[in-house]
């Protein structure tokens, strides 16, 4: 039953005017998203302090599907009070409906309404702060001229010293052209900035990595590669973000070949790593071997291709990939006539061993794992009944998964999504902060496939064996032990592969040897320092 069906709603007193419109709006089912913080507002209200006034206010808001979070008195005098009421709502239309409702009450005056999400973004989410005090003349002489000249000369003689004496040792560029931003698509560089700022905040909060958003006003792969190469001396790593396929594959491959610092397209590899981590733990529950799995991946953009590649690296041998034209195969007409793009040609040549053709529904028989990276409605829940026993479904489209968990429940053993309001959220924040932390700590030149596999294992191992169950196969995004564990695994693998600048034993954390990162309760430490 829908959350907004009449049988589930509280009764609403008969009202006229805008209050009645609000009730009608909710009853008509136009408010289709459950209340959440993303549409939360602060309503500044002047209220008549008559008996029961506040209770009636709360009842009215909740009758129209709002969730009252808090109600704080700002001032009170002469029988009236000014209050800030925080309400979680289900959309922009819902915000306006609640305001209209309250303005219809004779004993309530709406003084203002603030969208809390926009308020959080006001002025941006990042600042730049000095790492050393600048108080005295001596401080100035060392931090800037004339003392800084000696540091410049040292780096000029040995460019590797930039890792020791500049922000390069702990700084990542978050680079985007704004062509594939979340579910918004091609919205341009300015509109992409809030997302890139948010990414930088996550880097800092979860791994102590300083990241800076770089949004480029070009879609030309040659220009993007050139610009990133020119600014690379400032950074210890490059995180590519929200660049549309298939250009993202070319851009990443070229930058990886031409730069000596890690280049990582998170939309591809972050998603892939966390997906594999979830699968590692799911297999322990369903008691299947990874090499025996039959996998169906629906959606072959950046994430879909990367997920398939990492699953193959981990041992999966039978994957079918579906795009908007159906299952990829070397027998499909667009492969045969040469019109299929290069990445999909590679995919067709390395997957679908039985050469199946058709829609996801046509090829889902006996599939062990369904991976959705496309959008809602690509398959009906009832079709999942044709999957193999103990079926697993990772429906990761946001905000609406390919199939709703409630509808899939009768047919699958394990369900995961990309949403935080369901169990088993597959969230990239479990991967990219720790990956770059580990890579920066050993000054890695690249992030290899083995480093990605090591990261996936570390994420999976963060779920204790005695707590592993169908609705807990992946750690929380707020588990502070994940990033240090991932960082350690990545750094150790880089050391084994000799892709770092020196041995792991050559570096130490500030304040003492070894130990990458911190632990539960706080972000990991800054980058490791070369031992003297």
List of residues 6+ apart from 238 with CB closer than 8 A: 172, 173, 175, 228, 232, 255, 259, 261, 262, 263, 264
Q: For the chain, what are the domain ranges?
A: 6-121, 171-261, 272-428
497, 448 Cβ separation under 8 angstroms: yes
- Is CATH 3.40.50.10380 the right assignment for the domain spanning 171-261? yes
Q: From 92, 25, 33, 30, select the one nearest 63 (Cα to Cα).
A: 25
- Predicted TM-score of the model (pTM): 0.86
DSSP state of 469: B
Q: What is the pLDDT along the chain (532 residues), one digit of tens a residue?
A: 333 333 333 333 444 444 455 554 554 445 446 898 999 999 999 998 888 889 999 999 999 999 999 999 999 998 899 999 999 999 999 999 999 999 988 889 999 999 999 999 999 999 999 999 999 999 999 999 999 999 999 999 999 999 999 999 999 999 999 999 987 899 999 999 999 999 999 999 999 999 999 999 999 999 999 999 999 999 999 999 999 999 999 999 999 999 999 999 999 999 999 999 999 999 999 999 999 999 999 999 999 999 999 999 999 999 999 999 999 999 999 999 999 999 999 999 999 999 999 999 999 999 999 999 999 989 999 999 999 999 999 999 988 899 999 999 999 999 999 998 899 999 999 999 999 999 999 999 999 999 999 999 999 999 999 999 999 999 999 999 999 999 999 999 999 998 777 665 665 544 333 344 433 334 444 445 555 4
Of the candidates 168, 199, 288, 452, the residue annotated as catalytic is 199
**Active-site annotation holds for 144:** yes
Q: What CATH number was assigned to the domain covering residues 272-428?
A: 3.40.50.720
User: In which element (H, E) is residue 485 found?
Assistant: helix 482-497
401, 372 Cβ separation under 8 angstroms: yes
**Active-site annotation holds for 335:** no
Taking the C-alpha atoms of residue 41 and residue 116, their distance in angstroms, rounded to an integer, is 5
Name the superfamily (CATH) of residues 6-121. Answer: ACT domain (3.30.70.260)
CATH topology of 171-261 equal to that of 272-428? yes
């Amino acid at each position: 039953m829908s959350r907004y069906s009449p049988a589930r709603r509280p009764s609403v007193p008969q009202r006229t005017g805008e209050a009645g419109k609000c009730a009608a709006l909710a009853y008509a089912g136009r408010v289709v998203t459950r209340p959440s913080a993303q549409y939360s507002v602060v309503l500044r209200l002047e209220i008549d302090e008559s008996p029961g006034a506040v209770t009636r206010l709360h009842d009215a808001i909740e009758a129209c599907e709002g969730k009252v979070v808090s109600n704080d008195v700002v001032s009170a005098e002469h029988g009236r009070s000014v209050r800030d009421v925080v309400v979680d709502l289900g959309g922009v239309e819902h915000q306006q409906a609640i305001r209209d409702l309250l303005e219809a009450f004779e004993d309530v005056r709406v003084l203002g309404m603030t969208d809390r999400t926009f308020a959080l973004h006001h002025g941006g989410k990042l600042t730049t702060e000095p790492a050393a005090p600048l108080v005295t003349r001596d401080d100035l002489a060392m931090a800037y001229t004339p003392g800084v000249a000696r540091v410049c000369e040292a780096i000029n003689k040995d460019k590797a010293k930039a890792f020791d004496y500049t922000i390069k040792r702990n700084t990542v560029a978050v680079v985007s052209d704004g062509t594939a931003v979340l579910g918004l698509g091609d919205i341009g560089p300015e509109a992409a900035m809030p997302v890139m700022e948010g990414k930088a905040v996550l880097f800092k909060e979860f791994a102590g990595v300083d990241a800076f958003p770089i949004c480029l006003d070009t879609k030309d792969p040659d220009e993007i590669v050139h610009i990133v190469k020119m600014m690379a001396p400032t950074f210890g790593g490059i995180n590519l973000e929200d660049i549309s396929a298939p250009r993202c594959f070319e851009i990443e491959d070229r930058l990886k070949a031409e730069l000596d610092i890690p280049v990582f397209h998170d939309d591809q590899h972050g998603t892939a790593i966390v997906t594999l981590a979830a699968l590692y733990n799911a297999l322990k529950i369903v008691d299947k071997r990874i090499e025996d799995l039959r996998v169906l991946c629906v959606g072959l953009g950046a994430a879909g291709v990367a997920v398939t590649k990492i699953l193959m690296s981990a041992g999966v041998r039978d994957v079918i990939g579906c795009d908007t034209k159906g299952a990829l195969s070397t027998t499909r007409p667009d492969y045969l006539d040469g019109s299929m793009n290069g990445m999909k040609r590679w995919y067709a040549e390395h997957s679908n061993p039985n050469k199946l053709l058709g829609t996801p529904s046509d090829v889902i028989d006996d599939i062990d794992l369904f991976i959705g990276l496309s959008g809602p409605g690509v398959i009906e829940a009832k079709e999942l009944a044709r999957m193999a026993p103990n079926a697993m479904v990772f429906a990761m489209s946001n905000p609406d998964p390919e199939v709703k968990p409630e509808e899939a429940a009768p047919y699958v053993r394990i369900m995961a999504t990309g949403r935080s309001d369901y169990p088993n959220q597959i969230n990239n924040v479990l991967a990219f902060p720790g990956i770059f932390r580990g890579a920066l700590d050993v000054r890695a030149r690249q992030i290899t496939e083995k480093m990605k596999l090591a990261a996936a294992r570390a994420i999976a191992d963060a779920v204790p064996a005695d707590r592993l169950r169908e609705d807990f196969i992946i750690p929380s995004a707020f588990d502070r032990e994940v990033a240090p564990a991932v960082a350690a695994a990545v750094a150790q693998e880089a050391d084994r592969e000799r892709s770092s600048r020196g041995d792991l034993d050559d570096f130490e954390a500030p304040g003492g040897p070894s130990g990458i990162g911190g632990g539960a309760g706080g972000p990991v430490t800054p980058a490791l320092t070369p031992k003297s």
